[in-house]
Amino acid sequence: MNNESPRIIVRRSGPLSGNVQVPGAKNSVLKLMAATLLAEGEFVLTNVPAIADVDTMSDLLVALGVKTKWLGPHELSLVNSGNISTEAPFENVDKIRASINVLGPLLTHYGQALINWPGGDDFGGRPIDLHISGLEKMGATIEQNLLNINAYAQELHGAEIELSFASVGATENILTAAIYAKGTTVIDNAAREPEIGDLCNMLVAMGAQIEGIGTSHLVIHGSKKGSLRGVRHAVINDRVQAATYIAAVAIAGGDVQVRGARPEHMEMVINKYTQMGVSIYPQRDGLRVTAPERLAAIDFATLPYPGIATDYKPLLVAMNSVASGVGIVTENLFPGRFRYIEELCKLGADIRIDGHHAVIKGVDHLIGTAVTAPDIRAGAALVVAGLAAHGETVIGEIHHIDRGYDDLVGRLSGLGADITRV
């Protein structure tokens, strides 16, 4: 019996050519799925990525009482009949960070939510104190212990909430909780990620009243409980997956059409790619990407949107590792998110960590060896790095990659990359 877990094997590849379709966004679809707890009826989500986290969120919603069914490869039906449990089982919650997004909808619609501490990628502490303080300002009583969070409120009320940090999760939970809160809720310093705009647009289609979509000042006028309805909604495309395919072309060379990439959602990272020498041309249905002879090193720092997202950082670090010159990277959001550096160094990268900075001295080429994917985005970056490594790069623990990437191996292979999954 073979107990060996799946691996991805990459060999030096390039130039890449052809076109690749960007799937729906992981960081949007999971929140849209959680929002189906706000209204009875059928929701149909299209452009749903085929990733493990969608299956996990689906399992969680089924455990809570929502019926889910695939209507096609990327089309998911979710039916909320109103017979909903307010207790989220540990085995579902523990697998993904986005499980915390059921808190706001359950609390505002059903008056109670019992949820274990969420799981997900491990790259440092990601507290939910801003979620809790915001909900408490709206009248919720929240009890916490080492195992779970127990929230309840007979009726939430509107409040003015200023976030000390533009937290995506806190913005989403306060936003969904405000849908049935009595009166008006204002969220200042709200996170502005495109995925939050996607959530707001679906909520408005459901019947919610939201002003300031796409800005840091969200105003939500509470609706009558039960007045929202099920809708059909297309998930926006995944800007991090788009950035991954651009990075693959940048590091391997070539000329590729990245179809479905939304440049308006990626301005800052496109600017950084361009500084490194990558040519990126807007097209009618995405971006055309061509690579330079060799990348140029850059400095950058992670910041909340519209700054460089921490999800882009492993890709830019991998690119810097084979660029000409020295680049300095500053991590301002998650202190533990340098854990993959050791894996890149196994491939021959010259990287030194100093606190929340990494100093990267570009090398001529990387050398293939066995490495381990510590989280979703770092795993993808190791795959991309393998495209520039002499010999064979074998990536283990690829279940992390499966959580956020829809057929990464197949899509890269379609561009001519020498990559297989075993």
Return per-residue pLDDT of the chain as tens, 422 residues. 355 799 999 999 989 999 999 999 999 999 999 999 999 999 999 999 999 999 999 999 999 999 999 999 999 999 999 999 999 988 888 888 899 999 999 999 999 999 988 765 443 444 789 999 999 999 999 999 888 999 999 999 999 999 999 999 999 999 999 999 999 999 999 999 999 999 999 999 999 999 999 999 999 999 999 999 999 999 999 999 999 999 999 999 999 999 999 999 999 999 999 999 999 999 999 999 999 999 999 999 999 999 999 999 999 999 999 999 999 999 998 766 788 999 999 999 999 999 899 999 999 999 999 999 999 999 999 999 999 999 999 999 999 999 999 999 999 999 999 999 99
Paired strand residues for 397: none
Query: DSSP characters for 120-189?
Result: ---SS----HHHHHHHHHTT-EEEE-SSEEEEE-SS-B--EEE-SS--HHHHHHHHHHHTTSBSEEEEET
Helices (H), 73-128: 90-93, 103-110
Helical axes 26-35 vs 52-64, angle rounded to 10° = 10
Could you say which of 53, 121, 311, 406 is catalytic? Answer: 121
Residue 361, helix vs strand vs coil = strand
**Residue 243: CB partners within 8 Å, gap ≥ 6?**
266, 269, 312, 315
Residues in the chain: 422
The Cα–Cα gap between 140 and 191 comes to 22
Q: Would you state the pLDDT for residue 122?
A: 45
- How many other β-carbons are positioned within 10 Å of the β-carbon of residue 226? 12
Helices (H), 207-307: 239-252, 267-275
**Confidence (pTM):** 0.96
Residue 302, helix vs strand vs coil = strand
| Closest by Cα among 34, 300, 332, 75 to 173 | 34
| Closest by Cα among 174, 200, 313 to 247 | 313
Burial category of 340 from C-beta neighbours within 10 Å (exposed 0-12, middle 13-18, buried 19 and up)? buried
Structure tokens at 321: 């590792």
First to last CA, the chain: 15
Asked if residues 360 and 318 have their Cβ atoms less than 8 Å apart, the reply is no
The Cα–Cα gap between 292 and 270 comes to 15
Q: Would you state the pLDDT for residue 262?
A: 97
Q: Rounded to the nearest 5 degrees, what angle is found at the Cα of 122, between the Cα atoms of 145 and 374? A: 160
Q: Would you state the pLDDT for residue 3?
A: 56
Asked if residues 237 and 23 have their Cβ atoms less than 8 Å apart, the reply is yes
The Cα–Cα gap between 119 and 93 comes to 6
Q: Would you state the pLDDT for residue 123?
A: 39
Q: Would you state the pLDDT for residue 90?
A: 86
Tell me, yes or no, if 121 is annotated catalytic: yes
Name the strand (E) or helix (H) holding 313.
helix 313-320
